[in-house]
Homo-oligomer: A and B are copies of this chain.
Amino acid sequence: MPCGGQGRCGRCAVIVEEGPVRRRSTQRLSPEDVAAGYALACQTVVEGDVVVTIPPQERIERRLKESKRAVKVELPFPYDIHDQPIRKIAVTLDPPSLADQTDDWSRLQRELARRFDLRDVQVSLPVLKKLGPALREGEWTVTAVLEMDAWDRPEGPPRIIDILPGERLESLWAAAIDIGTTSNVVWLVDLISGQVMAQAADYNGQIARGEDVISRIIYASKGNGLEELQGLVMETLNRLLKKVARERGISTDEIYKVVVAGNTTMLHLFAGIPPESIRLMPFIPVVNHLPTFPARDIGLGVNPEATVDCLPGIASYVGADITAGVLSSGMCEEEELTLFIDIGTNGEMVLGDCTWLIACACSAGPAFEGAGVVHGMRATAGAIEEVWVNSETYEASYRVIGNEKPRGICGSGLISLMAEMFIAGVIDKSGNINLNLPTERVREGEHGPEYVVAWADETAIGEDIAITAVDIDNLMRAKAAIYAGFSVLARSVGLTLADVSKVLIGGAFGQYINVEKAIQIGMLPDKPYESFEFLGNTSVRGAYYALVSRDMRRRVTEVGQMMTYLELSADNTFFDEFNAALFLPHTDLTQFPSVATLLKE
Q: Which residues of A contact B (CB under 8 A)?
A: 96-99, 101-106, 120, 122-126, 128-129, 131-133, 136, 152, 271-274, 276-277, 281-291, 293, 297-298, 315-316, 565, 567, 569-570
Contacts and interface: CB of A to CB of B under 8 A. Distances in A.
Given A125-B272, A128-B290, 7 more contacts: A98-B567, A101-B565, A105-B287, A106-B288, A122-B291, A128-B271, A128-B291
- How often does this chain occur in the complex, in copies? 2
B136 A272 contact: no
A132 to B, nearest CB: 4
Contacts of A271: 125, 128
B286 A128 contact: yes
A125 B271 CA distance: 7
Contact of A287 (B128, B133, B285, B298): B128
A316 B570 CA distance: 66
A134 to B, nearest CB: 10
Contact of A291 (B99, B125, B282): B125
A126 to B, nearest CB: 7
Contacts of A132: 273-274, 276-277, 286
A272 B98 contact: no
A288 B128 CA distance: 12
Given A123-B291, A125-B271, A105 B286 contact: yes
B315 A126 contact: no
B284 A124 contact: no
Contact of A125 (B122, B273, B277, B281): B273
Q: Which 7 A-B pairs have the closest CB atoms?
A: A98-B570, A132-B286, A105-B287, A103-B288, A96-B284, A98-B282, A104-B286
Contacts of A103: 284-288, 315
Contacts of A316: 101
A204 to B, nearest CB: 20
Contacts of A120: 152
A284 B99 contact: no
A74 to B, nearest CB: 33
A98 B281 contact: yes
A567 B101 contact: yes
9 contacts: A96-B282, A98-B283, A98-B569, A101-B316, A101-B565, A101-B567, A124-B297, A125-B272, A131-B287
Contacts of A291: 122-125, 128
Contacts of A567: 98, 101
A160 to B, nearest CB: 10
B129 A282 contact: no
Contacts of A98: 281-283, 567, 569-570
